[in-house]
Structure 1
Amino acid sequence: MLDRSLREWLDERAAELDRSGERSHALLQKLAEANLFRIGIAPASGGSGGTLLDAIDAISAVARHSLTAAFMFWGHRTYIDILTQAPESALRDRLLPDLLAGRLAGATGLSNAMKFLSGLEELQVGGVLDGEGGWRLSGQLYWVTNLQTRGFQAVTVVQPDGGGEPFIASIGSGLTGVSRSDDLALMAMQGSATAALRFDDVALEQDGVIHPVARAFLPAVRPRFLGLQCGMALGLAERILDECRDRLSDGHVLRDEWQALTRRYRQIRSDIYAGVESQRFVQQPGELFHLRIGLVELAMSGIQLELMLTGGRAYLSPQGDGTARRWRECAFLPLVTPSVVQLKQQLARLPS
């Protein structure tokens, strides 16, 4: 799915993308030049066609080389997905061409919203009607990826003052009152342009509202949000299992463990794709939660196996740098919202 030049570019810069934000914008451009953001988008809207499964495949393919790149890809592509799943609007017509071409960064600030949807957290962005059909927004988002310093649009959920219906809004970096922190100091994936956002009395016009009823829209798009997100873990886990395979000899004492993990990987991937394609996760979100948890656990088991198969070389630099990076990348998987703990909390609330 990825052309050779992009694979080589990602492999050559995977360590730098993991440790530095210097090539963050170049990464977005590279993904756009490969037309990856157009996958799964209708040709009439500027896409290359295909389905959401094709987009998941693309994120997975990128994650085999760099989870930093896949994380940025996921954030940008999820913003596009939310825009295209919402009712047609002037906002979509205006933004989509630049998003697909990578001229504008799309940032998905829905961590707080997904926790709110599950009753785990209050919304952190509030809005007051300005008397002219627009809104004045204030609040903060503590963790948002793909906040390119050259310009971005960030999607979030806003709680109207006085307890009105929360709505989904897109907030541009050029609006007065929008401020971006320095990049967060992450253990890995420093090149993902991940930072915090603050909104101080930001004027949002009515056409900045993507959907007026967040409680109705978010459950419908959550399987797509999580499906695209699973692409990151699927690609990383697959790469880890391939690294393990290359270190195994016939009759190796750990071969059975690798085979069991590989079979489990294929089953989880098949179940995720089938559920996304049939859309049954909209009505049965618990099944997707279980699969996401299982996928994270599989990746963590896989990196432990890679460490054991690599032996002492895994603890040496530069020999073990790739393994060390994949270990740090794996450490992120249980934490990305919705985290494994949050998923288990939600499962505990579902009817048995």
Structure 2
Amino acid sequence: MIMDYETAVDDILETKLKPLVKPIDREAYYPREVIGELAEAGAFIQGTNRLHEQITREIRLVEQVSAYCMTTGFNLWCHLAALTYVRHTRNRRLKERFLPLLESGAVIGGTGLSNPMKYYAGLESLHLKAEEQPGGYVIHGVLPSVSNLGDGHRFGVIAETFDNRRIMAFVSCDHPNLHMQEKADYLGLNGSATYACRFEGVVISDEEVLSDDADLFIKDIRPSFVAYQVPIGLGVAAASVRGMEKHVNRQSGCNAYLPVQPADIKERAAAMSDSLARLSKDGRVLSAWEELLEIRRATAELVLDAVQAGMLHAGGSGYKQTSHEARRLREAYFFVNLTPTVKQLGKMLDSNGA
């Protein structure tokens, strides 16, 4: 029997992802196969959809996945960020080569833009340097943390040239001069396949250059970059609500006296979801930068309130390290420190989105 898309996604999440949630959380298991299964179901194929319509569908998918497991939702976001870079590039050869591979899941994508996003917000200098040579560039430097990496994967980076330009490249994890050291000592999301990446003369061909003008290119890709993060938080908030609702009758119903109730979280989440849906419906999700930053900040605040309320509603059972509530608490603290972080969002909004 051939399943329709929605049924296929539900089946993947219930039968493939759900059994992996504990190994992901406790054993730093990397759920690469889930992204592969979603790709096989056609999740990333734009087809006849307009770009904002495809983004709307993918936003919904990120929320569904994150409600099961935020680590996997975050990995999915990384892949969608890579897809965003390739969808927007004007490098025809790069797009023709890599877009079908990313859509099909034959290549999994990561994003190395944590440092560049901070650079463009005036928080850090760029960590990578690029020297131009015939046919491309040579890149040197270190990125402390890049996620969703592995054999055969690709990820985007921005490097500064010696004549004060910035270029963006699509780098292979298999390059012999790229040295990767796995990082699995986080409070949460250790299954995110996160690595420190040291570039020691990584040669990038012209076919791997996403843009020779990253300063302009970043303005095209950053709205989607942030838009895909919002449903990560909404998924975790939705899971927290379901957890609270399961405990409604605990200890003779005394959870009713807690200051944050499931209905409070639902109302706030619905408002954010509606705001994002409005931007998606008319295509402004591709350009409404400051509005997306506001929604993203509000989502971070919502997630913290949701998971902390979930812990209180669960009571003693929530304080077991293996509980769903404790896992979501750890996930939430990762989410609020995901670039752009809460403090970075505050600075950017105070500077009118810069």
Q: Same fold (TM over 0.5)?
A: yes
Q: Percent identity?
A: 25
Q: Which residue of 2 is the match for residue 152 of structure 1?
A: 153
- Cα separation, partners in 2 of 1:228 and 1:284, compared to 1, 3 Å: closer
Q: Is the 8 A contact 1:240 1:302 kept in 2?
A: yes
1:65 Cα shift?
Answer: 0.4
* Matched position secondary structure for 1:190: coil
The whole-number CA distance in structure 1 between the counterparts of 2:92 and 2:286 is 24
The whole-number CA distance in structure 2 between the counterparts of 1:23 and 1:286 is 33
Pick which of 245-254 and 56-65 moved more: 245-254
* Matched position secondary structure for 1:259: helix
The whole-number CA distance in structure 2 between the counterparts of 1:255 and 1:340 is 23
Q: Which residue of 2 is the match for residue 69 of structure 1?
A: 72
From 117, 120, 124, the equivalent of 1:121 is 124
Q: Is the 8 A contact 1:224 1:276 kept in 2?
A: no
Q: Which residue of 1 is the match for residue 296 of structure 2?
A: 292
Alignment TM-score, normalising by the size of structure 1 = 0.89
Q: Is the 8 A contact 1:188 1:328 kept in 2?
A: yes
- Cα separation, partners in 2 of 1:5 and 1:207, compared to 1, 3 Å: closer
Matched, 1:34 2:41: yes
- Cα separation, partners in 2 of 1:180 and 1:100, compared to 1, 3 Å: same
Matched, 1:9 2:16: yes
The whole-number CA distance in structure 2 between the counterparts of 1:184 and 1:262 is 33
* Matched position secondary structure for 2:257: coil
Matched, 1:53 2:56: yes
Q: Which residue of 2 is the match for residue 240 of structure 1?
A: 240
Q: Is the 8 A contact 1:6 1:34 kept in 2?
A: no
* Matched position secondary structure for 2:160: strand
1:42 Cα shift?
Answer: 2.7
- Cα separation, partners in 2 of 1:44 and 1:174, compared to 1, 3 Å: farther
Q: Which residue of 2 is the match for residue 173 of structure 1?
A: 173
- Name the count of aligned residue pairs: 342
Alignment TM-score, normalising by the size of structure 2 = 0.89
Q: Is the 8 A contact 2:86 2:98 kept in 1?
A: no
Q: Which residue of 1 is the match for residue 3 of structure 2?
A: none
Instruction: Write the mapping of 1:154-303 to structure 2, written as runs, cut at 5 A.
Output: 154-163=155-164, 165-249=165-249, 252-254=256-258, 257-280=261-284, 285-303=289-307
The whole-number CA distance in structure 1 between the counterparts of 2:56 and 2:340 is 20
The whole-number CA distance in structure 1 between the counterparts of 2:269 and 2:242 is 12
The gaps in structure 1 that reach 5 residues or longer are none
1:254 Cα shift?
Answer: 4.1
What is the Cα-based RMSD across aligned positions, in Å? Answer: 2.5
The whole-number CA distance in structure 2 between the counterparts of 1:343 and 1:317 is 30
The whole-number CA distance in structure 1 between the counterparts of 2:205 and 2:215 is 21
From 265, 284, 306, the equivalent of 2:310 is 306
Q: Is the 8 A contact 1:24 1:193 kept in 2?
A: no
The whole-number CA distance in structure 2 between the counterparts of 1:119 and 1:276 is 28
